[in-house]
Amino acid sequence: MKIERIQLQQHGDSRGMLIALEQDRNVPFQIRRVYYLFSTKCDVHRGMHAHRNLIQLAVPVRGQVTFLLDDGEGPCEVVLDDPSQGLLLRRMVWREMYNFSEDCVLMVLADQLYDPADYITDYAAFLRDVHVNGNGYQGDIAACLGL
Ligand code: TYD
């Protein structure tokens, strides 16, 4: 599947670095929720779900984490270790996260409030939704940012 990274402009000077995240500028959706993962145990596997209708941007503010992404056509691994690179997580993409470094702080921006009903937590059901029900990702977000 196509991996969509967003390069975030760094504002650096002798004092250090700053990155701003702005709705509809470098974040291609309405930001309605922000959450972050930290103090994650290094042997932990998180995620293991897809969202029916949610767009997210994951930014490794500190440290490193590996994502497995699958749009139904097979898994793809992505290492996130650069706070100036965000990873776009589209709807109907199965995601898993592992290999968290001890210091990892993973920030996630989302276009919807938390809704447990939006989760697909069964991989076989996810594949059925994509391949049998035709509910796979249709390419909406890339157009929105010109990616
Ligand atoms: P969970 O979905 O298990 O996290 P992950 O998919 O990263 O492994 O979420 C852990 C807990 O946090 C669970 O009780 C639901 C809660 N939660 C919220 O209350 N709001 C949120 O925005 C998120 C993402 C989770």
Q: What is the DSSP string of 88-142?
A: EE-TT-EEEEE---TT-EEEEEESS---GGGEE--HHHHHHHHHTS--S--SHHH
Ligand 1 center to residue 76 CA distance, Å?
23
Ligand 1 centroid distance, CA of 14 (Å): 38
Asked whether the beta carbons of 90 and 55 are under 8 A apart, the reply is yes
Spatial separation of the C-alpha atoms in residues 147 and 134, rounded to whole Å: 24
Q: What share of the chain is helix, strand, coil (3-state, %, to 5)?
A: 10, 40, 50
> Of all atoms in ligand 1, which is nearest to the CA of residue 33?
22
Residue pLDDT, tens place only, 55-94: 999 999 999 999 999 999 999 999 999 999 999 999 999 9
Q: Is the Cβ atom of 114 under 6 angstroms away from ligand 1? A: yes
| Atom in ligand 1 nearest the alpha carbon of residue 119 | 2
Instruction: Tell me how far the alpha carbon of residue 61 lies from the centroid of ligand 1, in angstroms.
Output: 18
Amino acid at 48: M
pLDDT digits (tens, 9 = 90+) for 11-33: 999 999 999 999 999 999 999 99
Flag whether the pTM goes above 0.85. Answer: yes
Residue nearest to atom 20 of ligand 1 (CA): 114
